[in-house]
Amino acid sequence: MKKKIAILSILFIILVIAIAPAKLAQNFIPSNNQLSLGSIKGTIWSGHIETALVKGWRFEDLTYQTNILPLLTGNAGGEVKINKGDLTGSFEFSIADKENLSLTDAELIIVASQLEEIIPFPGIQLDGELSTNDVDLTIEYKKLISLTGTTKWKDALVSVRNKRWELGEFVIDWTTDEAEKIILGKIRKTNNLLKVEGVISLSASGILEFKGSIANTIDKSIYTAFQLFADGKVNQGRLPIKFKKKIQ
């Protein structure tokens, strides 16, 4: 009898969650949180969000599908599709709390200008489209600890003091060395103005570092800017460069 009661109780909870109005979720968002949701329609199980603002990023026309089982354990999980905004695309997610989450199968397109804050060049402006392919990532205690997949910067453009450079295309393949607790991004050889080669690394302490080289035959003005990060002398027509920045 007790077993039947337990099963019926679980089924009842699932039913309540499945039919509960999505607007109820807004009551659980702290007023001082950097998250703001616009009009919500549907249920907690499945619905539509007109707009969402998250730490300065704007998303519009979102649809979501929630997984029931994570909700029963106090977590959240499901699938999201974003049709408009600073970031568009789809991904699956799992959230333990505001400091711990993971995304899987992320197929996203991002406006390049959103990343200007994390690059180590003052006064620089970015343009173009960044996209991801089969990206999985894990954040623990607000720090990115795992990243796999591919990112692409298409029609890359950089502007500094009203001077513009059309850089072409960049592709980075990401892997995670769990033993060393470091994320590595290898830059593919593509048709880009810098003819850049090298590896990006992100340590567990939040230090973003690039080690690589660029061709010394590129546009002289942009070459001069990169000389500030020279890591040695020109060798076989290439300038070794290196820079670091704490981003987490």
Is 106 a domain residue?
no
Beta-carbon contacts of 24 under 8 Å, excluding residues fewer than 6 positions away, are: 44
Is 68 a domain residue?
yes
Cα separation of 248 and 245, whole Å? 9
How would residue 8 be classed by pLDDT, with cut points 50, 70 and 90? Answer: very low
Helix (H) or strand (E) holding 7: helix 2-19
> What residue numbers bound the domain in which 74 lies?
1-98
Q: Are residues 173 and 73 in the same domain?
A: no
Is 176 a domain residue?
yes
Q: What share of the chain is helix, strand, coil (3-state, %, to 5)?
A: 20, 60, 25
Number of compact structural domains in the chain: 2
Whether 169 contacts 155, CB under 8 Å: yes
Per-residue tokens: 74: 């106090």
Is 88 a domain residue?
yes
Among the candidates 73, 98, 123, a domain finishes at 98
Q: pLDDT per residue over 73-124, tens digit each?
A: 666 788 999 999 988 999 998 887 767 889 899 999 998 888 887 765 677 8
pTM, two decimal places: 0.79
Among the candidates 54, 74, 98, a domain finishes at 98
